[in-house]
Amino acid sequence: MTTPESPKRVIGVDVGGTKTLAVMVELADGADAPPVVVDRELVPSAAAPGEVLAPIRESIRALMGRSGVTPAAVGIGLAGFVDRDGRIHSAPNLAGLVGVDVGSALRVELQLPVTIDNDANCVAVAAHALLGRRADCLVAVTFGTGIGGGLVIHGRLLRGSNGFAGEPGHMVIEPGGHPCGCGQQGCWEQYASGNGLARLAREACAAGKAPEVLAAAGSLAAVRGEHVTRLLDRGDAGALEVFTEYAGWVALGFANLRVLLDPDVIVVGGGLSSHGADLLALVERATVARFPSAAVGRRPEIVVSPGGPEGGAIGAALLGAGAVLDLHDGA
Ligand SMILES: [Zn+2]
């Protein structure tokens, strides 16, 4: 490996519902070397809609102050529908950001190029950079409160006509099913997100199938996904039954993505990726048993996001820098 001749620093910020993570990333000019995180800053996200910019600004300034370096660019990833011009059209967990021109405000304040993108697009871009050539066609799916997605097809981030491509969470997989915040019924994220896991757990508890999960939560209304995953670690049979059913819903969505895109890699990100190994084993079993068309001849590598919890921030930095020019669609 050669030493990069002109290392560049860029900052990426991942704005979550509860926490905002900023990373300072070092890039190598013209090299295939992966980006390296040299510093990070984690701050609570704004509680009030009017204060949404403050933690973003604070975290960027903290990194700049500690390093004494002015970054070449800043990229910001957030959970929401971000159009091709970086405008936020909807952000269910970041309501204060809708209609705010985050990019322009920060550009003026910081006197730096600032780009805004969807957080799952950022996870996809980071995974593509970190996995290298084996991820030519890559689907990133982030499992949190909802489900986010990002598609890198033959090395390019797929944005679609309006910038809203790659939203598998709103594929309808159960017609007439649970209502979704997007206005449809039966969206994949109603079943396969963290909230979906919680609902499956409550249904199992109500039917008397997961007594330990119910005991851990204290009441039916208090049952959350983490009660299942915590008991899963202890080998509880009820938790395993719930998680196996949940994995079937995840597999259903993956099966659709597999037949549609035949990806080299499916990257799993978000909160549930901490139980990635358990989940992926169950998903693979369900796929082989129930979705033979998706299983035969299509064997994508399914991996937990290689950037871990920093994947979104790393990808935001890369998009901000334009350091992954091959990923841009030129528009
Ligand atoms: Zn939906």
- Is the predicted pLDDT of residue 325 greater than 50, yes or no? no
Predicted confidence (pLDDT) at residue 228 exceeds the cutoff of 70: yes
Please say whether the beta carbons of 212 and 239 come within 8 A: yes
Q: For residue 50, is pLDDT > 70?
A: yes
> Which whole number is the average pLDDT over 91-97?
71
User: How many whole angstroms from 93 Cα to the centroid of ligand 1?
Assistant: 14
Higher local confidence (pLDDT), 63 or 4: 63
Give me the pLDDT at residue 164, please. Answer: 87
Does position 273 have pLDDT exceeding 90, yes or no?
no
Dihedrals φ, ψ of 91, to 5°? -150, 90
What mean pLDDT comes out for the span 117-127?
A: 94
- The whole-number pLDDT of residue 5 equals 36
Which pLDDT score, from 0 to 100, does residue 30 have? 59
Helix orientation angle between 237-261 and 225-233, rounded to the nearest 10 degrees: 110
Residue 175 CA to ligand 1 centre (angstroms) = 12
How much is the average pLDDT of 51-70? 92
pLDDT of residue 42: 97
CA of 68 to the centre of ligand 1 (A): 44
Instruction: Tell me which H or E stretch contains 56.
Output: helix 53-67
Distance, CA 181 to ligand 1 centroid (Å)?
6
pLDDT at 10 over 70: yes
CA–centroid distance, residue 189 to ligand 1 (Å): 7
How far from 12 is each of 57, 81, 319, CA to CA, in Å?
12, 18, 9
Least confident of 68-82, 85-99, 136-150, 249-263: 85-99
Q: Which residues are paired to 140 by β-bridges?
A: 150, 267
User: What is the 253 CA–ligand 1 centroid distance (Å)?
Assistant: 13
CA 190 – CA 261 distance, rounded (Å): 22
pTM, two decimals, is: 0.88
The answer to whether 171 and 253 have CB atoms below 8 angstroms apart is yes
Give residue 194 CA to ligand 1 midpoint distance, Å.
14
Tokens 């990426």, residue? Answer: 12
Ligand 1 centroid distance, CA of 182 (Å) = 4
The pLDDT value given to residue 31:
55
Query: Average pLDDT for residues 260-287, to the nearest whole number?
Result: 86
Place of tokens 């396969």: 192
Rounded to the nearest angstrom, the distance between the alpha carbon of 81 and the centre of ligand 1 is 12
Exposed, middle or buried: residue 43 (CB in 10 Å: 0-12, 13-18, 19+)? middle
Q: 275: which DSSP letter?
A: G
328 CA → ligand 1 middle, Å: 27
Distance 195 CA to ligand 1 centre (A): 13
Q: What does the pLDDT average to over 295-307? A: 88
pLDDT score at 47: 77
Q: How many Å lie between the centroid of ligand 1 and the Cα of residue 190?
A: 7
For residue 51, the tally of other CB atoms under 10 A from its CB is 11
Checking if the pLDDT of 104 tops 70, the result is yes
The mean pLDDT value for 231-243 works out to: 94
* Distance from the alpha carbon of residue 71 to the mean position of ligand 1, in angstroms: 37
Residue 139, sorted as left (phi over 0), alpha (psi -120 to 50) or beta, turns out to be: beta
SS3 of 167-196: the string is CHHHCECCCCCCECCCCCECECHHHHCHHH
15 burial via Cβ count (<10 Å: 0-12, 13-18, 19+) = buried
C-alpha 283 to ligand 1 mean position (Å): 22
Question: Where does the pLDDT of residue 324 fall: very low under 50, low under 70, confident under 90, or very high at 90 and above?
Answer: very low
Q: β-strand 147-153 against 138-143: which pairing, if any?
A: antiparallel
- What is the whole-number distance in angstroms between the Cα of residue 86 and the centre of ligand 1? 21
In sequence order, the β-bridge partners of residue 149 are 141
pLDDT at 243 over 70: yes
Among 5-19, 142-156, 286-300, which is the least confidently predicted range?
Answer: 5-19
